[in-house]
Chains A and B, each alone.
Chain A
Amino acid sequence: MPRGTSSSVLLPDAPPPASAGVLRFEHVSVAFDDVPALQDVSFEVRQAETRIILGAAGSGKTVLLKTALGLVQPQSGSVHVFGQDITRMTEQQLFGIRSKLGMLFQESALFDSLTIEENVAYPLVNQKAIQCPIEDVSKRVREALRFVELEHTLSRFPSELSGGMRRRVAIARAVVTTPPLLLYDSPTAGLDPITAHTIMALIIKERDLSKIATLIVTHRYQDGALMANFRYNPDNGKLEPARGVGNNITRTTKFLVLREGRLVFEGTQAELEASTDAYISKFRKQSGG
């Protein structure tokens, strides 16, 4: 979508057209104290598409997500969220944009001093653009917690929950506002395989039920493979292989690989598996593929 044309101008609260870029990075570079974290990164995510961002520790994955949220300002390039360039926005202007994004932070980032109910209600109560009537807050919080099967933890504090439960509560907090774009920062990091699978199942469930754009950062190839090849079956509540006619999950799921802040690969799972690059194939090998 070219910039500056009348067709590219979106009203602040207008929903994006079906083909519109939900998130677009254009030659984005970020540095901290002259140490580059992202270098000339460009990619685009459209509605109902999924991007799996793979990369070693320190390759700039988390910085990329924080740049998409406007928490980190790029030194050069531009970031477009729902057609709006957020690079020059003030913090107050960014609050409006951020209300359309859900984010799962790496360590969950739940507020220690608030109960689970207050944590999940936080975006509904504090984001002006959401405009959730106060009498609906409790209902929506319960729905979000029911989605992650933790409705019974309402009055508990984050410190009373296990790591996996905290991660699920953080997912509930991210989806409670039903944002059209969800960002997940290493959702399975530090979790046992069973809990990690539960978390991934929730992410796939949210993607398939809400038809939202998803950006997931991980260093585990198997998480990406799960996202690219499985879909949520609402009839039995389980994941099943996404095959057959009408399956476009594999087509709309692309892998990005970051290396020392540079985007070194963008393509489908088949293209990634065909790559002979030593760095890229390391991610494939870790899953035994």
Chain B
Amino acid sequence: MALLEVVTGPILAVQEFYLLAGRALRNMFREPHYSDDIVLQMDNIGVGSLPIVVMTGFFSGAVMALQLARALAQWGQTGKVGTAVSITLVRELGPALTSLMVAGRNASGMASEIGSMKVTEQIDAMRALGTDPIQKLVTPRLIATCVVLPLLTIIADFVGVFGGYVVAAGMLDVNGRQYWTSVWQALGWDDVTQGLLKPFVFAFVIALVGCYYGLRASGGTQGVGRATTQAMVAASVLIFVLTFFLTRIFTSQLVSAS
């Protein structure tokens, strides 16, 4: 009996998650649309996350330049540091680190906000007063995250490449023009495509995981705390897992194309 519960628990959780995802997506095409809430969430997630995304992007680019320059120096290719930094940032680190920062800040924020509403019966009140909580709370957060996360990633990529430039020009004596030329020449459309597709997929994970844990919160303030932690951990782990699979899909396409 206990073994059955161990098996059925996660299966039911996955089923509930997919039901929530389905209803949130369906609501995108149904009235009413809460455009004010979408704008509010875009401000909260986008503008609110900008400082940490910029900081993370800049220093990850700078660290990449320092580390890769050491490896490239063995073959006398320090001048190629821009190539290495741009490809690594645009393909992998930019989307992953930006999404992790937003997951840490906003998946947990969504879980705690919606969770607090759940345990204080505000979700029930919303339903009693003629509003679908998924339409009002989940769909605007999903739309807002899907719009702003790719934009934040673009900013993080650019700031990261700039961080690499600061290190390359200031510490490695790499010519600035050479750095930016290598950055520009290294990037192909497939890099940009996967660099923007990944945050779009991660946006679904962040918004839906945050809202899912918030909506199933129970047990007062302790339950809200638990939901917040679970949302952040689940979103972060899923981002890493999905990064692997998305990268695998893109690399296999490149291999088959060549």
Give the B-binding residues of A (Cβ under 8 A).
66, 69, 71, 91-92, 95, 98-99, 101, 103, 105-107, 109-112, 122-123, 126-130, 173
Cβ A95 vs Cβ B130 within 8 A: yes
- Chain A residues with CB below 8 A from B237, complex form: none
8 Å CB contact of B124 from A109, A129, A130: A109
Docked CA distance A91–B136 (Å): 14
- B residues 88-134 near A (Cβ < 8 Å) are 116-117, 120-122, 124-132
Q: How far is the CA of A44 from the CA of B120 in the complex (A)?
A: 29
A61 to chain B, nearest CB (A): 14
Q: Is the interface of B mostly helix, strand, loop or mixed?
A: helix
Inside 8 A of B129's CB, which chain A residues have their CB? 98, 122-123, 126-127, 173
- Once the chains are docked, how many angstroms separate the CA of A130 from the CA of B130? 10
Q: Is the CB of B130 within 8 A of A69?
A: no
Determine the chain A residues whose CB is within 8 A of the CB of B124 once the complex forms.
66, 71, 105, 109
- Which residues of the other chain, A, contact B130 by a CB distance below 8 angstroms? 95, 98-99, 123, 126-130
Residues of chain B with a CB closer than 8 A to A173's CB: 129
- Report Cα–Cα, A92/B125, bound state, in Å: 15
How many positions in chain B have a CB within 8 Å of any CB in the partner chain? Answer: 14
Q: Which of B116, B117, B121, B131 contacts A126 (CB 8 A)?
A: B131
Inter-subunit contact A105/B121 (CB<8 Å) = yes
Closest CB in chain B relative to A67 CB, distance in Å: 12
User: Chain A nearest CB: distance from B17 CB in Å?
Assistant: 19
- In this complex, the member of A109, A111, A123, A127 whose beta carbon has the largest number of chain B beta carbons within 10 angstroms is A109
B136 to A, closest residue via Cβ: A126
Sampled A-B contacts (5; CB under 8 Å): A69-B128, A71-B128, A95-B130, A109-B122, A110-B122
A103 & B125 in contact (Cβ 8 Å cutoff)? yes
In the docked arrangement, what's the CA distance between A129 and B130, Å? Answer: 9
On chain A, the residues within 8 Å of B126 by CB distance are 111
List 4 additional contacts besides A69-B128, A111-B126, A127-B129; criterion CB under 8 Å.
A71-B128, A105-B121, A109-B121, A123-B130
6 tightest A-B contacts by CB?
Answer: A127-B130, A109-B125, A109-B121, A105-B121, A123-B129, A126-B130
Complex Cα–Cα for A99 and B127 (A): 11
Using Cβ atoms and an 8 Å threshold, which residues of chain B touch A95? 130
Chain B residues near A111: list those with CB within 8 A. 117, 122, 125-126
Given A109-B121, A111-B122: A103 and B132 interface contact (C-beta under 8 Å): no
Contact yes or no, B122 A112, CB < 8 A: yes
Encoded as 1 (CB less than 8 Å from any A CB) or 0, chain B from 2 to 19 comes to: 000000000000000000
- CB closest chain-A residue, reference B30: A92
- Chain B residue with the shortest CB-CB distance to A96: B130
B125 contacts A105, C-beta separation under 8 Å: yes
Q: Name A69's closest neighbour in chain B (CB-CB).
A: B128
In the complex, what residues of A have CB within 8 A of residue B128's CB?
69, 71, 98, 101, 103, 105
Q: Which residues of chain B come closer than 8 Å to A101, judged between CB atoms? A: 128
**Chain B residues positioned under 8 Å from A130 (CB to CB):** 130
Q: How far is the CB of B124 from chain A (nearest CB, A)?
A: 5
| A226 to B175 alpha-carbon distance, docked (Å) | 87
The complex places the Cα of A198 from the Cα of B90 at a distance, in Å, of 64
For the complex formed, measure the closest distance between the CB of B241 and the CB atoms of chain A, giving whole angstroms. Answer: 30
Chain A residue contacts of B116, Cβ below 8 A: 112
Please, which residues of chain B bring their CB within 8 A of the CB of A122?
A: 129
Q: What is the CA–CA distance of A214 and B251 in the complex, to the nearest angstrom?
A: 66
Cross-chain contact B127 with A91 (CB below 8 angstroms)? yes
Smallest Cβ distance from B39 to chain A, in angstroms?
Answer: 14
CA–CA, A99 and B132, complex, Å: 14
C-alpha spacing A127/B252, complex, angstroms: 52
In the complex, chain B residues whose CB is within 8 Å of the CB of A127: 129-130
CB distance from A117 to the nearest CB of B (A): 15
Residue of B nearest to A123 (CB): B129
A30 to chain B, nearest CB (A): 15
